[in-house]
Amino acid sequence: MKWLGNRLASGTLRQSQQVSILMKSVLIVEDEILVAMDLERILEDAGYRVAAIAADQKEAMSAGGGVDLAFVDINLRDGATGPEIARDLAERFGVRIVYVTANPAQIGEPAVNALGCIRKPFNEADILAAAALANADQQDVTEHKDIIRL
């Protein structure tokens, strides 16, 4: 949050970006704890609120209400349930989806609110660019070469 505070104080973030970043609540659907913690760190440092980390379908669905965005892996603790979880989160709760996987071909039919896919291994810029796609003011988002648009 210190990084965001410095950006806010220096004026490098416009008012519309400040508000939209601070309001976003994120669900991380990932069973590899080190990957999940890395995502959490990246997002929280940028001002997003990570509501929960879920490692399987049951955890994801119980945490899905009230979040704006979910980063969803395909292969989880309970199998290749990521695509189904993404579709359920989008349909039940209106959550926007970003897939994070080494196997994009396994996505199949993307969720209705799917914004794109980031290949593993990812970097911080990939995650932040994908999160920016979920902001209400998408006119400020430029295409990012590492986000596969669905």
How do residues 3-50 score in pLDDT, each as one tens digit? 333 343 444 444 334 444 444 899 999 999 999 999 999 999 999 999
- Flag whether pLDDT at 96 surpasses 60: yes
Q: Under 8 Å CB-to-CB from 67, ≥6 apart: which residues?
A: 25, 26, 27, 51, 52, 89, 93, 95
Question: What is the per-residue pLDDT for 135?
Answer: 72
Q: Which two tokens stand for residue 12?
A: 């490098």
Question: What is the per-residue pLDDT for 143?
Answer: 61
Q: State the angle between helix axes of 33-45 and 124-133 in degrees (0 to 180), rounded to the nearest 10.
A: 60
Cα 97 → chain centroid: 6
Question: What is the per-residue pLDDT for 45?
Answer: 96
Q: What is the mean pLDDT of residues 70-97?
A: 97
pLDDT in tens, 116-148: 999 999 999 999 999 988 775 444 445 666 777
Q: Under 8 Å CB-to-CB from 1, ≥6 apart: which residues?
A: 44, 45, 47
Question: What is the per-residue pLDDT for 145?
Answer: 67
Question: What is the per-residue pLDDT for 24?
Answer: 85
Question: What is the per-residue pLDDT for 134?
Answer: 79
The β-bridge relationship of strands 49-54 and 69-72 is: unpaired
Give 142 or 92, the one with higher predicted confidence.
92
Q: Is the dihedral of CA 4, 46, 142, 112 positive or negative?
A: negative
The β-bridge relationship of strands 147-148 and 114-119 is: antiparallel
